[in-house]
């Protein structure tokens, strides 16, 4: 068994043959797939950014507390027909080796056998990846287990005690607000409108006011199925650069490829789950923005 891994540690992704020895016939370890997009990182070293405590929708957790994120490693979607979801890649501890931060090793190794084991689809327009298998790999968490995981996040260094208290306070505020005032950002549109700005990567936009965005939503707070959440309101009035268009994403739990229109992602905009779930989901999902919620601006 590897030495205990914590956020901030330097780890090496094991060689392909070592990874292969941990996988079942579907290329998974306890239902978490090792994806083809991960093979290029074998033998390379990265810092651990976070221990994965809870994930959405849920909250849910892994049966074994041995899943981590590595700094900046998101799925490219290259082996999954160009999925643009850009999920943070989940790494089982068995795929990692803790290394001394003064020694960065890079091991060469053949990846053909590993690549041959890895599955990418289950049928036409249905894909096999960490997002598709998320429900199989995790279990719902009781309140007691959630509290235990939140305390462990503080011990391991995911958050300071102050940061965790702040998250809990935000969660309680929105829970109480919903009890008295109902769902946040609830519109009254029966058929929600759309707008195409044909935005490109690198362009600058300003997020419209909350009132302007709410006017595009239905009573569930959605615009054509996409939710405008509490944390997104924090960007209203701000200017951000477009990171890219979003046109194809694989749905959690089903593996279905969903086509998306008139939607972009913005630099630095990731899910602020503290506003939604006590403790917060660890996945740091990219937030999607309908173009009707944005206006194009000149470069600041």
Kindly report, residue by residue over 100-148, the tens digit of the pLDDT.
755 555 555 689 999 999 999 988 889 999 999 999 999 998 888 888 8
Longest Cα pair distance anywhere in the chain, in angstroms?
60
Q: Where are the domains of the chain?
A: 10-143, 163-300
> Band of the pLDDT at 1, cuts 50, 70, 90?
very low
Percent of the chain scoring above 90 in pLDDT: 66
pLDDT (0 to 100) of residue 274: 59
Instruction: Give the angle subtended at the CA of 269 by the CAs of 67 and 72, to the nearest 5°.
Output: 40
pLDDT (0 to 100) of residue 105: 58
pLDDT (0 to 100) of residue 30: 96
Q: How many CA atoms lie within 13 A of 96 on its CB side?
A: 23
Average pLDDT over residues 12-22: 96
Candidate from 40-49, 102-111, 183-192, 223-232 with smallest mean pLDDT: 102-111
Average pLDDT over residues 243-271: 95
Q: For the purposes of burial, counting CB atoms within 10 Å of the CB of 215, is it exposed (0-12), middle (13-18) or buried (19 or more)?
A: middle
In terms of pLDDT, which residue wins out, 167 or 258? Answer: 258
pLDDT (0 to 100) of residue 180: 84
Mean pLDDT, the chain, whole residue set: 89
pLDDT (0 to 100) of residue 143: 83
Terminal CA-CA length for the chain = 52
Span 139-179, pLDDT tens digits: 998 888 888 888 888 888 888 888 888 888 888 888 888 88
pLDDT (0 to 100) of residue 106: 52
Average pLDDT over residues 172-192: 85
Q: What is the DSSP string of 133-192?
A: THHHHEEE--HHHHHHHHHHHHHHTSS-HHHHHHHHHHHHHHHHHHHHH-STT----SS-
pLDDT over 50 (residue 243): yes
Span 76-94, pLDDT tens digits: 999 999 999 999 999 999 9
């Amino acid at each position: 068994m590897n030495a205990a891994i914590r956020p901030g540690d330097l780890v090496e992704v094991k060689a392909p043959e070592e990874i292969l020895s941990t996988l079942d016939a579907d290329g998974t370890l306890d239902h978490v797939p090792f994806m083809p997009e991960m093979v290029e990182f074998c033998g390379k070293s990265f810092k651990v950014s976070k221990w994965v405590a809870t994930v959405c929708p849920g909250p849910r957790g892994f049966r074994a507390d041995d899943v981590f994120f590595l700094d900046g490693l998101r799925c490219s979607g290259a082996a999954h027909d160009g999925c643009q979801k850009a999920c943070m890649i989940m790494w089982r501890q068995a795929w990692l080796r803790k290394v001394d931060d003064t020694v960065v090793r890079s091991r060469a190794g053949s990846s053909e056998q590993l690549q041959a084991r890895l599955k990418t689809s289950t049928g036409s327009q249905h894909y096999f990846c960490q997002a598709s298998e998320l429900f199989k790999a995790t279990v719902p968490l009781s309140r007691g287990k959630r509290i235990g995981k939140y305390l462990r996040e503080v011990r391991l260094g995911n958050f300071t005690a102050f940061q965790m208290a702040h998250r809990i306070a935000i969660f309680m505020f929105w829970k109480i607000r919903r009890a008295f005032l109902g769902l946040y950002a609830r519109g009254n549109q029966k058929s929600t409108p759309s707008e195409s700005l044909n935005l490109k990567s690198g362009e600058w936009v300003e997020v419209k006011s909350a009132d302007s965005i709410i006017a595009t939503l239905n009573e569930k707070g959605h615009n054509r199925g996409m939710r405008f959440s509490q944390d997104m309101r924090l960007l209203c009035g701000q200017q951000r650069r477009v990171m890219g268009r979003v046109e194809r994403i694989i749905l959690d739990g089903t593996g279905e490829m969903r086509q998306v229109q008139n939607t972009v992602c913005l630099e630095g905009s990731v899910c602020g789950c503290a506003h939604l779930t006590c403790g917060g989901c660890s996945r740091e999902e990219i937030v999607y923005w309908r173009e009707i919620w944005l206006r194009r601006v000149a470069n600041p």
